[in-house]
Amino acid sequence: MARVLILGGTRDAVDLAGAASALAGIEVIYSLAGVTRNPNLPDCEIRSGGFGGAEGLRKYLADARIDAVIDATHPFAAKITANAAAACGGENIPRLKYLRPPWRPAPGDNWIEVSSSKDAALFLADHPGTAFLTTGTRQLSAFAGLTDCRFVVRYIHAPKDGAPLENCEVVVSRGPFDEEGETALMRSHGIDVLVCKNSGGDAAAAKLGAARALTIPVIMIARPPPPDSEIAETEAAAIAWLRENI
């Protein structure tokens, strides 16, 4: 049996792990960081927790006799992607980045494209209002100190110590979200601007449709540069790569 490590944590990764597990002669190990409570999991071997950097991942690949790695982490998970590149290079193990295409503005969209959460905060400092922050909780500190802004932040689980921002309302909800619900949320909270990362994919796209329908501008944070590796944009392409490399 060929052993394939899928670095996951996204819905696309779960689906891919299920499809790969159905292939004859392949054993899938699905890895996730373990920071989300009650995550969606595929029906295969699960590994939860970090590896200890690139060297820890390299040791794991050798000890677990991994034959191929598919990095299906979030498009903004640049650190684990870099660690995977270094570890696979050190062990001479084939590696694929499963990277769904980014969103593109559609007719009626009003995007302000920036390179980081810090740049998004700088824009809000000059254009205060009520912002719906969907950048992930680790990025919220970039918006601290914007006392002229009001924030709405959505969490999967209620934060124990509240949101780390002044003048902030917390919404506790777990996707998938649809456009009707996102439109209602933005309207009820009086959202003036949506702030999000260009994650791509269908799972989080409903908020963009809602912003379009409400003529709300979107501060779109660009992705980090793509990795220097083979890239598959679809599950079918990732499965084809597996067939060729196992």
In a domain, 72, yes or no: yes
Residue 65 lies in a domain: yes
Residue 106 placed within a domain: no
What would the pLDDT profile of 94-128 be if each residue is shown by its tens digit? 999 999 999 999 999 999 999 999 999 999 999 99
Amino acid 34: pLDDT: 65
Mean pLDDT of 162-189: 91
Mean pLDDT over the full length of the chain:
93
180 and 212, same structural domain? Answer: yes
User: What single string gives the DSSP state of each residue in 82-125?
Assistant: HHHHHHHHHHT--EEEE-PPPP---TT--EEEESSHHHHHHHHH
What are the pLDDT digits (tens) for 195-223? Answer: 999 999 888 899 999 999 999 999 999 99
Asked if 195 and 241 sit in the same domain, the reply is no
| Strands laid side by side in the 168-172 sheet | 111-114, 218-221, 193-197, 130-134, 150-155, 168-172
Q: Is the predicted pLDDT of residue 190 greater than 70, yes or no?
A: yes
Please give the C-alpha separations between residue 151 and each of 72, 89, 143, 163, in angstroms, as whole numbers.
31, 43, 9, 10
Are 134 and 54 members of one domain? Answer: no
Q: What pLDDT shows up at residue 36?
A: 64
pLDDT score at 38: 66
**pLDDT above 80 (res 41):** yes
Whole-number Å distance between alpha carbons of 101 and 10: 14
Residue of 76, 49, 214 lying closest to 134 (CA atoms): 76
- Can you give the CATH number for the domain in which 195 is found? 3.40.50.150
pLDDT of residue 155: 86
Q: Are residues 52 and 81 in the same domain?
A: yes
Has residue 194 been placed in a domain? yes
Query: 127 and 96 share a domain?
Result: no
| Residues 229 and 199 grouped into a single domain | no
The answer to whether residues 94 and 120 belong to one domain is no
The type of residue at 58 is: R
Q: Is residue 7 part of a domain?
A: yes
125 and 91 assigned to the same domain: no
Q: Do residue 49 and residue 94 come from a single domain?
A: yes
Indicate whether 217 and 229 sit together in one domain: no
pLDDT > 90 fraction of the chain, expressed in percent and rounded: 78
Q: Is residue 191 part of a domain?
A: yes
Q: In which residue are the tokens 């649809």 written?
A: 178
CATH code of the domain covering residue 60: 3.40.50.720
Task: Categorise residue 73: left if φ over 0, alpha if ψ from -120 to 50, beta otherwise.
Answer: beta
SS3 state at 170: strand
Least confident of 35-49, 72-86, 133-147: 35-49
Question: Cα separation of 45 and 41, whole Å?
Answer: 10
As separate numbers, helices (DSSP H) first and strands (DSSP E) second, the chain gives 7, 12
Range of the domain at 138: 111-221
Considering the domain architecture, whether residues 81 and 133 belong to the same structural domain is answered as no
Residue 80 near residue 86, CB atoms below 8 Å: no
pLDDT at 191: 98
Same domain, 180 and 229: no
Residue type, 11: R
Let me know the angle formed at the C-alpha of 65 by 246 and 95, rounded to the nearest 5 degrees: 50
The tally of domains found in the chain comes to 2
Spell out where the chain has E strands.
Answer: 2-7, 26-32, 45-48, 68-71, 95-98, 111-114, 130-134, 150-155, 168-172, 193-197, 218-221, 230-232
Of 102, 92, 78, 68, give the one whose Cα is nearest residue 228.
78
